[in-house]
Amino acid sequence: MITRETAKKSLHVPVRAVIKGVKDEAPGVRTLLLEPVEGQFPRAGRVSRPGQFNMLGYPGVGEAPISYSMLPPGKTDAKAEELFGHTIRRAGRVTGYLEKFKEEDEIFFRGPFGRGWPVEEARGKHLLLITGGLGLAPLKPVIEMAPSLGLAGATLLHGARTAGDIIFKAELARWKTGGAVEIGLTVDNPPGNFFKKRQDRGLEGFEKAIGEIRTGLITELIRPLQIDPAKTVAFICGPEIMMRFASRDLMMKGMGGAGIYVSMERRMRCGTGHCGHCQIGPWFTCKDGPVFSCAQLRGLPDVII
Amino acid sequence: MGARRPRAGFFKFTCCSGCGFELAYFQRCLEETLAAFDFAFFRLASSSGTPEGPFDLSLVEGAVTEPFQIIELKKIRQRSKVLYAIGSCAITGGIPAIKALAPEAQVEGAAYKERLYGLASTRPHVINDYVQVDGFIRGCPPGERDLFEALSSALMGKDPEFTEYSVCMECKMADNKCVLVEEGLPCMGPVTNAGCGALCPAHHRACYGCFGLMGQANIHALKGRFRELGHFSEEDIENRFFTLFGALGKTERK
Amino acid sequence: MTGVNASQRNYRVILPENALARWLEWLGGFYTLTGPVGGGVAARFTEISKFEQMDLDYQSTMLPPGKKYLFEPVEEVLSFDVSEGVFSSGPYPPGRKRALIGVHPCDVNAILYLDMVFLSGPYADPFYRARRENTFIIALNCKSVTGLCFCHLVGAGPYLKAVSGYDILLTEIGEEEGAERRGGKNRKFMVELVSEKARELCDVFPFSMGEQPEEKDFEKMSRMEAALLKSFRKNLDMEGVQSALLSRPDHHALKETADSRCLSCSNCVMVCPTCFCHDVMDKTDVSLSRSRRVRRWDACQDISFAQVHGGNFRAQRHARLRQFVYHKLDYEEQFGRKGTVGCGRCIRWCPTGIDLTEIARAMME
Ligand SMILES: Cc1cc2nc3c(=O)[nH]c(=O)nc-3n(C[C@H](O)[C@H](O)[C@H](O)COP(=O)(O)OP(=O)(O)OC[C@H]3O[C@@H](n4cnc5c(N)ncnc54)[C@H](O)[C@@H]3O)c2cc1C
Ligand code: SF4
Ligand code: SF4
Ligand code: SF4
Ligand code: SF4
Ligand code: FES
């Protein structure tokens, strides 16, 4: 049980976790399954929400904000069931260092921080998820909990650079079969050549399971959509430029900025609203976000949403 | 983590060897440094040793001013996993770059009474004009903070994080009197990359930019300020930016 | 204007300077006394041992007292013993108890702002909090205004209106008749005990040495304040500024000022009493035995401040200057008040004299 007092004092002290599993998702992208072993990690289910992030790192190297791609399951005290996941792309100092880590290595984190996706707002409505590249990771927990959200329906539109860059292939196939989410996929570069060269990797099987992979930008998948603006909530995650075009397309279909949510990426040094690096206008991305509605962001300087 | 000590090399081109001295006299942790690395080549510390690689970490000081240095530099690059330029000569051209301000023959004539036919001097160049450099340990002599960051990062196997802000930041954090605002001295601090801990202003002197210009340095704005101070000629101001540590900048800007 | 009620008045006393000096030196038994040394606009808050070292006529300092002592420029927040695998953070409280003497109203308000940053959100910073709790703040109403001050526009001065968050408020209200002191006059101060801590500390001494203030004294204070308010030279429509700025993020006044004068040197941020931004870095000994996590003041004027993998959100100089100007004059939603306290430091210490109020004024035209 963490009291307010100890939580405050442990602000700077990371939690130790052991890597219990490593999964290659795409070139330069890996998922780490983590088990917290020591420290004041808010226990499962109590605080962790989809869309939140941890400051993940190693002492001497630094920390980087990484979203949950798998939530701690919650409501159980059994250690083994407290595994949670982060999907990480090699980008710089911290993520490059973490790339060397293997199973049973120790890693450190602080968190979880931020406000997550407002899943309760989607109750009774159609939930539209639009993701680009690694942006699928922070929404994966939402997709997994979709059947329990009381949605009128759910659609996932995902875009990647090439078919090889599509993460969570097994999960995508599973979600497709599960039927709770409709799935549309697109890649910037045509998949044809790719499959011809790499048939042995089982990607052909993936295409069979998932159906057609379109070619083109994610907006190609958005434009044909039929949307009832009043009964739709959209969660968008990906590069900011992609979120800009996706959200604008939805607005052209009549959706208001208040029903469109995006997850913003900014430089972060603390996660706790103190270091100031993550500011967007009056907001701190770490504590007021990273999930914002477009209404909160549009018109602020240094934002292209 | 790893048991093997990283193999390190220290290489010198045209310069005063001050950077090598700085490393050899690395105040805070000379012993630890020597214990942590296997210095396979470091002329200033030992006359034995071989420049043959491979090196986990190479530090290269000095500007390139002769053709053979280019060949050597390229070899060093091939043999090194990580290569850092160390010191202003290697990074901005430093003092040796002053010779870029005059025609080659004139410089040679001034330096040698007779024309030396064996002399094969070229226009000075910084080392990343010729090879890919993984990081810059700035300063003349190099700042301890960045040197320390480079060495400890090499040991840990992480990318270093070098300073990338103005000398003024360090100056303010030390609560120094501002010699530019309060005394009208032509301080280069506002456009100079930090790393020295604002050494000159702490001793009541104007920064003369030995760490080199920081990214996006707004030169014409600071020149304008120096002009407003009223007691500097246009030549004084020009020299402030484009001799000593900025000669290459001058010729490149032409 | 001072709006005194009877119970507050009981905690007010008029003390001659020499009595105040004796009391402060007594306070030095419990606190490290820290006050303005060297006068004018470039005084410096410094640890002192004698009252006379201070210049209570000072007008401003370069580094603000609150930021300098409550939020240190460089501070280790975490240490990791590599071989033991153990973290330590602290100790809290870091350092000794400190009394900040002669803090001007703008700077007291800036401390209240830093309180919001470091203490009010979902996470309180333990270092700041411990230091804050260990700091005794003796505020001093201004008796002169510099040409760059604009506290009156944001309600941060020249007389302090805040009723909590500090301990004692001093106002110089004249000179004691007849008494000579150090060749000069012995001044009299209205001393208001604002916090419980102050009231306890001052229970008997120094009250016995002072006089009860009378109505005429309060009237005099009001007159002095009114006179001061007339001496401000800076002006800006603080109500209108918010909508004007947000609707013109690419105004030429911003771009031109940035291109022709801004050096991206960050002096403005360093001297700003409400700028709280900091970087966090890890350092490891060459012997790899200990890693330390250190925070250091940082500034949105630095080129890499908003750099991420995908790009730099403020790669352009005017975008960085805009962040400073907007954060000070706009973005009131952040903490329910403007970011500026009107101390004028960013203007004074900018090597090229860039003035955020001038930029804003040009943008409002
Ligand atoms: C809320 C949030 C959630 C996120 N979730 C995820 C996630 O789930 N998975 C994921 O992989 N990523 C995620 N990210 C992105 C991730 O945090 C960054 O990729 C990460 O911080 C990079 O850290 P680093 O130390 O590895 O890189 P850094 O060393 O900080 O470098 C990052 C990039 O910036 C550049 N750079 C850094 N400093 C400078 C400089 N001074 N000058 C020029 N360029 C510089 C580098 O070249 C590099 O491209 C998230 C970010 C946020 C804000
Ligand atoms: S003295 Fe020089 S380095 Fe220091 S703040 Fe002033 S201009 Fe900057
Ligand atoms: S102090 Fe002046 S020149 Fe320097 S960054 Fe600030 S506004 Fe620009
Ligand atoms: S003005 Fe810049 S440095 Fe100051 S608090 Fe705001 S973002 Fe941070
Ligand atoms: S800004 Fe106001 S409170 Fe601050 S020193 Fe000037 S007059 Fe005093
Ligand atoms: S990450 Fe430090 S304030 Fe948001």
pLDDT digits (tens, 9 = 90+) for A70-94: 998 754 444 445 789 999 999 999 9
**E strands, chain A, where?**
15-26, 29-38, 53-58, 62-70, 84-89, 106-113, 126-132, 153-160, 182-187, 213-215, 232-237, 260-263, 279-280, 283-284, 291-293
CA separation (Å) from B219 to B41, B46, B248, C356, C359? Answer: 39, 42, 14, 21, 21
Same domain as C151, residue C26: yes
Is 90 exceeded by the pLDDT of residue B190? yes
> Is C95 part of any domain?
yes
Q: Does C118 touch chain A (CB under 8 A)?
A: yes
pLDDT tens per residue across span B112-133: 777 666 777 888 899 999 999 9
User: What's the CA-to-centroid distance between C276 and ligand 3, angstroms?
Assistant: 17
pTM score: 0.93
A-chain residues near C284 (CB < 8 A): 59-60
Same domain as C313, residue C243: yes
Task: Establish whether residue C269 lines the binding site of ligand 4, counting it when its CB lies within 6 angstroms of any ligand atom.
Answer: yes
Contact C307 A267 (CB under 8 A): yes
User: What's the CA-to-centroid distance between C342 and ligand 5, angstroms?
Assistant: 7
ipTM surpasses 0.90: yes
pLDDT tens per residue across span B33-46: 778 888 888 877 77
Mean pLDDT (whole number) for A95-117: 93
Residue reference for tokens 């430091």: C345
Domain that holds residue C312: 238-364
* B180/B189 Cα distance (integer angstroms): 9
pLDDT tens per residue across span C355-365: 999 999 999 88
Contact B161 A93 (CB under 8 A): yes
- State the DSSP code for B111: H
| Minimum CA–CA partner of A94 in chain B | B158
> Is C257 part of any domain?
yes
Same domain as C181, residue C38: yes
Mean pLDDT (whole number) for A273-299: 96
> Is C36 part of any domain?
yes
Cβ atoms of B108 and B81 within 8 Å: the answer is no
A-chain residues near C277 (CB < 8 A): 275-277
* B248 token code pair: 């290459």
Is 70 exceeded by the pLDDT of residue C246? yes
Q: What is the mean pLDDT of chain A?
A: 87
Same domain as C127, residue C93: yes
User: Is residue C222 packed enough to be buried (19+ CB in 10 Å), middle (13-18) or exposed (0-12)?
Assistant: middle
* C166/C139 Cα distance (integer angstroms): 7
As a whole-number percent, the residues of chain A with pLDDT over 70 amount to 86
Cβ atoms of B170 and B198 within 8 Å: the answer is yes
> Is C195 part of any domain?
yes
C-chain residues near B216 (CB < 8 A): 264, 303, 317
Same domain as C243, residue C191: no
In the prediction, which pLDDT does A8 show? 41
In the prediction, which pLDDT does B26 show? 64
Task: Establish whether residue A270 lines the binding site of ligand 6, counting it when its CB lies within 6 angstroms of any ligand atom.
Answer: yes
Residue reference for tokens 């000072």: C58
> Is C274 part of any domain?
yes
- State the DSSP code for B213: B
**Closest-lying ligand 2 atom to the alpha carbon of residue B171:** 4
A108-119 core/surface letters (b: 16 or more CB in 10 A; e: else)? bbbbbbbebbeb
Ligand closest in space to the Cα of B218:
3
Cβ atoms of C222 and C203 within 8 Å: the answer is no
Please state the length of chain C: 365
pLDDT tens per residue across span B223-242: 999 999 988 999 999 888 88
CA separation (Å) from C71 to A172, C76, C110, C255? Answer: 48, 12, 12, 32
Cβ atoms of A180 and A154 within 8 Å: the answer is yes
Mean pLDDT (whole number) for B67-94: 93
pLDDT tens per residue across span C88-145: 888 777 678 999 999 999 999 999 999 999 999 888 999 999 999 999 999 999 999 9
| Minimum CA–CA partner of C330 in chain A | A282
**Closest-lying ligand 4 atom to the alpha carbon of residue A276:** 8
In the prediction, which pLDDT does A199 show? 43
Same domain as C205, residue C69: yes
CATH 3.40.50.1100 fits B7-156, yes or no: no
In the prediction, which pLDDT does A205 show? 75
Mean pLDDT (whole number) for C294-302: 97
Number of folded domains that form chain C: 2
Is 50 exceeded by the pLDDT of residue C6? no
In the prediction, which pLDDT does B28 show? 61
Same domain as C215, residue C247: no
Same domain as C128, residue C44: yes
Residues with CB under 6 A from ligand 5: C 60, 104-106, 142, 145-146, 149, 151, 157-158, 342-344
Please state the length of chain A: 305
Residue A222 half-sphere exposure toward CB, CA atoms < 13 A? 26
C182 falls in which pLDDT band (50, 70, 90)? low
For A182, phi then psi, to 5°, come to -85, 140
Q: Which of C264, C286, C302 sits opposite B32 (nearest CB)?
A: C286
* A40/A12 Cα distance (integer angstroms): 11
In the prediction, which pLDDT does B29 show? 65
Strand-pair category, C98-103 with C32-37: parallel
Same domain as C217, residue C137: yes
- All residues at 6 or more sequence positions from B76 whose CB lies less than 8 Å from its CB, including other chains: B9, B11, B51, B53, B55, B58, B60, B83, B131
Same domain as C200, residue C58: yes
> Is C1 part of any domain?
no
* A38/A271 Cα distance (integer angstroms): 20
Q: Does A96 touch chain B (CB under 8 A)?
A: yes
State chain C's maximal CA–CA distance in angstroms.
72
C83 falls in which pLDDT band (50, 70, 90)? confident
**Closest-lying ligand 3 atom to the alpha carbon of residue C320:** 5
B-chain residues near A61 (CB < 8 A): 156, 158
In the prediction, which pLDDT does B116 show? 67
Residue nearest to atom 1 of ligand 2 (CA): B178
When comparing pLDDT for C287 and B2, which is higher?
A: C287
- State the DSSP code for B134: S
pLDDT tens per residue across span C209-230: 788 899 999 999 999 999 999 9
CATH 3.40.50.700-classified regions of chain B: 7-156
Same domain as C35, residue C66: yes
Q: How far is A93 from chain B (nearest CA, A)?
A: 5
| Minimum CA–CA partner of B158 in chain A | A97
pLDDT tens per residue across span A230-254: 999 999 999 999 999 999 999 999 9
pLDDT tens per residue across span C320-361: 999 999 999 999 999 999 999 999 999 999 999 999 999 999
Task: Establish whether residue C266 lines the binding site of ligand 2, counting it when its CB lies within 6 angstroms of any ligand atom.
Answer: no
User: What's the CA-to-centroid distance between B61 and ligand 4, angstroms?
Assistant: 37
Q: How far is B29 from chain C (nearest CA, A)?
A: 7
Residue nearest to atom 3 of ligand 6 (CA): A273
Same domain as C319, residue C252: yes
Is 90 exceeded by the pLDDT of residue A163? no
Q: How far is B253 from chain C (nearest CA, A)?
A: 18
* C59/C81 Cα distance (integer angstroms): 46
Q: Which of C176, C210, C230 is the last residue of a domain?
A: C230
A1 falls in which pLDDT band (50, 70, 90)? very low
Residue nearest to atom 8 of ligand 2 (CA): B168
Chains touching C (3+ CB pairs < 8 Å): A, B
Q: Which of B152, B159, B161 sits opposite A96 (nearest CB)?
A: B159
Q: How far is A97 from chain B (nearest CA, A)?
A: 6
Is 80 exceeded by the pLDDT of residue A5? no
Among C323, C330, C313, residue whose Cα is nearest residue C262? C323
